[in-house]
Structure 1
Amino acid sequence: MASPRTAHPAPATARGVRTRDRLVAAARVVFERVGYLDARLVDISKEAGLSTGSFYTYFPNKKEVFAAVAEMTQNDLLHPGMERVADEGDVHAVVEASIRAYLHACHRNARLLAVLEQVAHVDPDFRELTRQRDEEFFRRNARSIADLQARGLADASLDPMLTSKALSAMVGRVAYGYFIGPVTEQDSVTMDQLAAGLARMWTNALRIPDRARGR
């Protein structure tokens, strides 16, 4: 995935990699605590236990270290590590496990995602990063839908990409409202209930039979 970061040499040593990682981790703490606009390089360096001079060895500015933090968050959303499904042939169970993994990724990245959305409104580079993440979701889910159609498990009349965009947007906006948006009367809905409900909406939209079996 393309990044809005400017070109900057990668650390040449293992120690350099560790130091850079410390700065990225510290930057995330600061960005989540005070937001992007109020974050200062001196605060990031202090959080990492390093001098401001050390910061400039690895990043030329605040925008680049924020891009490094954002990229890690985007990768976590795209590859959240789905739990093992007892019956991998159960299409409904696989869809639910996939959605649950995404919801957990949204939950653990909620504060940073809120900051990223704010920055994306004013910085076209980060807006493009978010767009690219969405497009990757759309393409991946469209491939899954097309595969289900080819196996006779999903409504063949649906356009895979259009359906992917609609269903992915549904899950994404519900997750945003649940974990990132204003607090509402949502506390009564558990993570499992949320995952199960969204998965049922997804499979119903594709008209997948209750006893659908994969390969």
Structure 2
Amino acid sequence: MSRSAAAHEGRENSPPSMANSALLRELPTTERGLRTRSALIAAARTVFERAGYLDTRLIDITKQAKCSAGTFYTYFSSKEEIFAAVLEIAQEDMMHPGMPHVADEDDPAAIVEASNRAYFEAYRRNAKLMGLLEQVANIDPEFRKLRQKRADAFIRRNARSIAALQERGLADTEVDPLLASRALSGMISRLAFGYYVTGDFAGEAGPVDLDELTATATRLWVNALRMPRS
């Protein structure tokens, strides 16, 4: 693969940001400034997750960060801006279900299983923030668009992987890859939300453990696409 082709592929695989980058100002130029900004972002995430977006006040963030309002306004102009900064840092650990390109020597079902497990683990780590994102998406149309755009990028990536497997005879050729990707990715994300955010899908004996959740989700994904299993 040429350097230009590799760069193009990298851009294709890079999902858009959920953070409204237009709100963010330039990073501080000093180490002290960077540390203070990072401390404010960490404090803001704690408060957002605890109080919710609507009920979070700037005074709550500065109190959590143990700094003055003047310090806050040195780095951020509003609650909206610091929320965008929280997302910018956290979003790479909150990936939508993704199935990377499957090499010829790889087991496609094992790739799906590993991808699902990594997603559920990330969702569990960030469950409070994922619940917060659902809240913000319901009240902020601009954020809802950014979030959907990012999700669509992962859905298209999965669709390309499914189409490649179809060409190799490793997936059902009678399904539309984009529609299949949208359905399967949606299943995984709602499963994660139901288990780790709302608890709606917990059984009488309590939440299903990660191994069982991953195994069931993977079986449904693999069976839906009629993928071979080693």
Query: Shorter-chain TM-score: what band?
Result: 0.7 to 0.9
Question: Within the alignment, does 1:191 sit opposite 2:210 as a pair?
Answer: yes
Query: Aligned equivalents of 1:149 and 1:100: distance in 2?
Result: 23
Equivalent residue of 2:160, what SS?
A: helix
- 115, 120, 131: which is aligned to 1:103? 120
Say whether residues 1:43 and 2:56 are aligned partners: no
1:172 aligns with 2:210: no
So what's the TM-score if we normalise by structure 1?
Answer: 0.88
Give, in angstroms, the shift of residue 73 of structure 1: 3.2
Report the residue type matching 2:152 in the other structure. E
Partner SS, residue 116 of structure 2: helix
Determine which of 130, 134, 156 is the counterpart of 1:113. 130
- What percentage of residue pairs aligned between the two structures are identical? 54
**Paired residues of 1:74 and 1:133 also in contact (CA < 8 A):** no
Alpha-carbon contact 1:70-1:116 (below 8 Å) kept: no
Q: 1-10 vs 94-103, which deviates more?
A: 1-10
Return the offset for 1:22.
1.0
Structure 1: distance between partners of 2:229 and 2:96? 27
List alignment gaps of at least 5 residues for structure 1: 83-87
- The SS at the match of 1:89 is coil
* d(CA) in 2 for partners of 1:78, 1:174: 14
TM, length-normalised to structure 2? 0.82
The answer on whether the counterparts of 1:106 and 1:175 sit within 8 Å (CA) in structure 2 is: yes
**What is the distance in 2 between the residues matched to 1:79 and 1:134?**
6
Q: Which consecutive unaligned segments of at least 5 residues does structure 2 have? A: 1-15, 100-104
Deviations 1:82-119 (A, max 9, x none): 9xxxxx72222221111011001111111111111111
Q: Tell me if the contact between 1:36 and 1:115 (Cα under 8 Å) persists in the aligned partners.
A: yes
How many angstroms apart in 1 are the aligned matches of 2:229 and 2:71?
58
Match of 2:142, as an amino acid?
D
Report the CA distance between 1:7 and its aligned residue.
4.3
Select 2:220's aligned residue among 172, 179, 201. 201
**Is structure 2 residue 20 aligned with structure 1 residue 4?**
yes
Separation in structure 2 between the aligned mates of residue 170 and residue 17 of structure 1, nearest angstrom: 39
